[in-house]
């Protein structure tokens, strides 16, 4: 009888939290790569044309915010999926 109860507990275990954590970790890879590419492009552009640094920084901050919003949305979805 105790094996039946153990099987029922295992079937009702909540694995959503673990899967949500893995999903968020995988989802955070994209924004991490994106941020690296953005700032690498700014560094390259500034090295090639120093007088364009101001314009490049404005574009970089705008795209940085857009990419980071994706990571924050992933974090919100993680908390919704994990139930906490």
Which sequence spans correspond to the domains of the chain?
Answer: 15-82
Which of the four pLDDT bands, split at 50, 70 and 90, describes residue 21? confident
With a cut of 80, say whether residue 69 has pLDDT above it.
yes
Tell me the pLDDT band of 6, cut-offs 50, 70 and 90: low
* pLDDT tier at 67, thresholds 50, 70, 90: very high
How far apart (Å, rounded) are the C-alpha atoms in residues 6 and 8? Answer: 5
Token representation of residue 36? 């690296």
- Which residues, at least 6 apart from 17, have a Cβ–Cβ distance to it below 8 Å? 81, 82, 83, 84
- Minimal CA–CA distance to 32: which of 70, 62, 78? 70
pTM over 0.75: no
Residue 10: band (very low, low, confident or very high) from pLDDT cuts 50, 70, 90: low
Residue with tokens 């390259």: 44
Cβ atoms of residues 78 and 23 within 8 Å? yes
User: 15-82: which CATH topology?
Assistant: F1FO ATP Synthase (1.20.20)
């Amino acid at each position: 009888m105790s094996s039946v109860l153990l099987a029922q507990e295992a079937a009702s275990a909540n694995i959503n939290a673990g899967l949500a954590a893995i999903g968020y970790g995988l989802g955070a890879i994209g924004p991490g790569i994106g941020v690296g590419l953005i700032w690498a492009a700014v560094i390259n552009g500034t090295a090639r044309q120093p007088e364009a640094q101001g314009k490049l920084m404005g574009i970089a901050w705008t795209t940085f915010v857009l990419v980071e919003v994706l990571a924050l949305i992933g974090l919100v979805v993680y908390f919704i999926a994990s139930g906490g």
